[in-house]
């Protein structure tokens, strides 16, 4: 049996995608769609979906009904208290430090670097006192800055989960100026009380950010330990996954996420193929930024609310079972036969994936190494000829043949899955409609949304009456 361990934050994200929970911050939408995609992966490619049942007592029954295909496990019944204590102990060892306006401790600095989140803290004047304020470093209303907003919003949203499940977080952070001066609590409290234009402490937003980072660390460690206990792959909300990778590298912790990494490779490969097909005939390919399996099922069913029921319905289709069987083979090899056998199984996965990629590209007239559609070649030439005033060929269908052993060398499971996905997505995506379908059910109430504070890089080190660099 293969198990997918899903965290409660991901289930809440799925409810937001389906319009069952109101979105308070529109910057979290893309992260929620990734969490939705993870759930679709789990439904299609794992035998059993499990979740630790530590959500709010008043919502447990409702959540169990909404996710009837997930098996909720009692922490008490399975003795997970030791895992909680271990996760708390690991989190307490984290010592966040902001020096010269940036996180410099190994844990949070590495996380922010992984996320490529550019931020800086400066002393900003409020009521005659300077408070340490967190800002996004960059130019507002640019694609890069929008990415920063999404990441920071995903981090802040962690505290919503903290109110729903038990755990541990802290707002403690060590503050050190670029000159090496350590700002103590007592010193800052006296400055705030005296309104003397001294350093009065941290803003509430920065406190919440530090607390959110602590909560991310706690949950990532907790679910990593639980996954090892249940011999499961973890499907965490994306922001937690980033910290999980750091923690596993740091501690040498053993992870079971072989299958989820291979599914991600499959998803990325399909996405690339679909992008090439959709952009066929253009001068430059444009990446298809879609969670590929949930996009496929949404396009197939016409409504994202039907994506999960569709996944549950087709999960035992022969081609998906074949892919799942190969994942089983790889998992057993890792667990029982050793790394050499496992690597051979992974190579088989790659070969099947490569064959499926070639087959579907050939089907759509692209060079997949298995023959070239003559009519496609003529169409491309004719469009070029029309511009250049050259003579055009009449269009007719023929195929430049390749040897039979190449044309018939295909994996039915991978190929059929590929064909289904590309048929649906290319038909809808050429009209630009898949992303709109996926976001159609979000209920967004942004009446209290506050955009993140910003700092232009060129003014980062500049002092003024209203702002001082740290």
Residue 420 CB neighbours (<10 A): 17
Residue 40 CB neighbours (<10 A): 25
> Which pLDDT score, from 0 to 100, does residue 73 have?
94
CA distances from residue 135 to 29, 75, 271, 347, 453 in whole angstroms, order as listed: 21, 39, 34, 45, 5
> Which pLDDT score, from 0 to 100, does residue 383 have?
46
The domain locations on the chain are 3-79+216-253, 88-215+451-469, 263-439
- Report strand pairing: 48-52 vs 454-455: unpaired
> Which pLDDT score, from 0 to 100, does residue 175 have?
94
Q: How far, in Å, CA of 188 to CA of 2, rounded?
A: 53
> Which pLDDT score, from 0 to 100, does residue 280 have?
57
Write out pLDDT tens, residues 165-198: 655 667 889 999 999 999 998 888 888 888 878 8
> Which pLDDT score, from 0 to 100, does residue 23 have?
87
Q: What kind and span of H or E run contains 319?
A: helix 318-332
C-beta separation of 8 from 51 below 8 A: yes
**Below-70 pLDDT ranges, the chain:** 141, 143-145, 147-148, 159-169, 252-258, 278-289, 337-338, 364-411, 428-432
- Report strand pairing: 3-6 vs 399-400: unpaired
Q: How far, in Å, CA of 31 to CA of 37, rounded?
A: 10
Q: How far, in Å, CA of 241 to CA of 221, rounded?
A: 10
> Which pLDDT score, from 0 to 100, does residue 290 have?
74
Helix/strand/coil for 411: coil
> Which pLDDT score, from 0 to 100, does residue 153 have?
77
Q: How far, in Å, CA of 419 to CA of 411, rounded?
A: 12
> Which pLDDT score, from 0 to 100, does residue 401 have?
46
């Amino acid at each position: 049996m293969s198990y997918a361990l899903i965290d409660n934050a991901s289930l809440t994200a799925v409810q937001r995608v389906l319009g069952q929970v109101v979105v308070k911050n529109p910057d979290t939408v893309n992260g929620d769609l990734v969490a939705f995609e993870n759930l679709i992966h789990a439904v299609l490619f794992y035998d059993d979906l499990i979740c630790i049942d530590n959500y709010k007592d008043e919502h447990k029954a409702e959540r169990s009904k909404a996710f009837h295909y997930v098996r909720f496990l009692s922490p008490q019944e399975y003795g997970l208290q030791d895992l909680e204590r271990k996760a708390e102990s690991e989190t307490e060892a984290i010592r966040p430090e902001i020096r010269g306006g940036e996180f410099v401790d190994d844990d949070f600095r590495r996380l922010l670097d992984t996320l490529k989140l550019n931020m800086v803290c400066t002393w900003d004047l409020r009521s005659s006192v300077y408070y340490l304020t967190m800002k996004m470093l960059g130019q507002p209303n640019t694609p890069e800055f929008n990415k920063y907003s999404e990441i920071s919003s995903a981090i802040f949203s962690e505290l919503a989960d903290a109110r729903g499940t038990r755990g541990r977080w802290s707002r403690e952070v060590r503050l050190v100026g670029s000159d090496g001066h350590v700002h103590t609590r007592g010193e800052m409290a006296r400055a705030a009380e005296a309104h003397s234009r001294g350093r009065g402490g941290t803003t509430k937003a920065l406190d919440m950010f530090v607390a959110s980072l602590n909560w991310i660390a706690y949950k990532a460690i907790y679910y990593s330990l639980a996954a090892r206990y249940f011999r499961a792959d973890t499907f965490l909300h994306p922001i937690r996954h980033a910290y999980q990778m750091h923690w596993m590298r740091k501690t040498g912790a053993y992870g079971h996420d072989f299958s989820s990494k291979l599914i991600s490779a499959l998803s990325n490969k399909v996405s690339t193929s679909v992008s090439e097909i959709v952009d066929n005939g253009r001068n430059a390919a444009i990446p298809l930024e879609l969670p590929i399996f949930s996009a496929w099922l949404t396009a197939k069913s016409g409504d994202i609310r039907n994506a999960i029921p569709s996944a549950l319905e087709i999960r035992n289709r022969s081609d998906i079972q074949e892919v799942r069987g190969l994942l089983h083979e790889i998992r057993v090899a890792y667990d029982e036969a050793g790394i050499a056998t496992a690597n051979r199984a992974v190579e088989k996965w790659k070969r099947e994936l490569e064959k499926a990629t070639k087959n579907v590209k050939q089907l759509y007239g692209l060079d997949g190494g298995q023959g070239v559609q003559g009519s496609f070649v003529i169409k491309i030439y004719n469009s070029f000829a029309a511009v250049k005033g050259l003579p055009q060929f009449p269009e007719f269908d023929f195929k430049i043949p390749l040897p039979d052993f190449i044309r018939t060398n295909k994996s039915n499971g991978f190929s059929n899955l590929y064909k289904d996905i590309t048929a649906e997505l290319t038909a809808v995506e050429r009209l630009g409609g898949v992303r709109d379908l996926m976001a159609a059910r979000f209920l967004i109430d942004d009446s209290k949304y506050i955009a993140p504070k910003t700092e232009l890089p060129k003014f980062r080190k500049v002092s003024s009456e209203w702002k001082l660099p740290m």
